[in-house]
Amino acid sequence: MPVYITNNQRQTFDLGKKLAPSLQGREVLALYGELGAGKTSLISGIINYFIPSKRVLSPTFIIVRHYYPRNKPVKKIIHADLYRLNKLIEISGLGLTEYFNNPSTVMLIEWADRMKKLLPTKRTDIFFKIKSENTREIKIEFNSLNPLN
């Protein structure tokens, strides 16, 4: 399980950009961590790799945002933020599981613990831990598949 330490938001963003080139589609990245732990910063780096200079906002209120990279093997990135949802029925109604295993789609799911029972076995779990005001510990755990090697 790789462990990364980032000391500011920019380093977390840069880690996302570093991980992004290995994503080719069909990946589900499930992100776990408390509010302000850096989940959106990492996702911003991933999306910025595929769509340079794209400003990424957490979809906390709209729940799901879709991004469409051009000239990449990944044709769609789905960014879901499940923070405001507490019931599995609400989450299953979003239709996110329809995109699992899609060969040209990457799924990025914040607060993935809210849909743990629905997540595919083949996924990458990313755990964020706040170590201090600026420092984050980020652990990546590969389940059955290692899309980030």
- Structural domain range at position 51: 3-143
In a domain, 16, yes or no: yes
In a domain, 149, yes or no: no
In a domain, 148, yes or no: no
Q: Which of 2-6, 44-48, 55-59, 107-111 has the lowest mean pLDDT?
A: 55-59
In a domain, 33, yes or no: yes
Which pLDDT score, from 0 to 100, does residue 53 have?
Answer: 84
Q: Residue 124 belongs to a domain with what CATH number?
A: 3.40.50.300
Q: What is the dihedral of CA 83, 88, 94, 96, to 10 degrees?
A: 90
In a domain, 94, yes or no: yes
Q: How many CB atoms lie within 10 A of CB 97?
A: 15
Tell me the pLDDT of the chain averaged across its residues: 90
Pairwise pLDDT comparison (93 vs 115), residue with the higher score: 115
| Number of domains composing the chain | 1
Which pLDDT score, from 0 to 100, does residue 84 have?
Answer: 79
The predicted-structure confidence for 14-71, as pLDDT tens digits, reads as follows 999 999 999 999 999 999 999 999 999 999 999 999 999 888 888 878 899 999 999 8
Confidence of residue 144 (pLDDT cuts 50, 70, 90): low
In a domain, 29, yes or no: yes
Q: What whole-number distance in Å separates Cα of residue 34 and Cα of residue 41?
A: 13
> Residue 94 burial (CB < 10 Å; 0-12/13-18/19+)?
middle
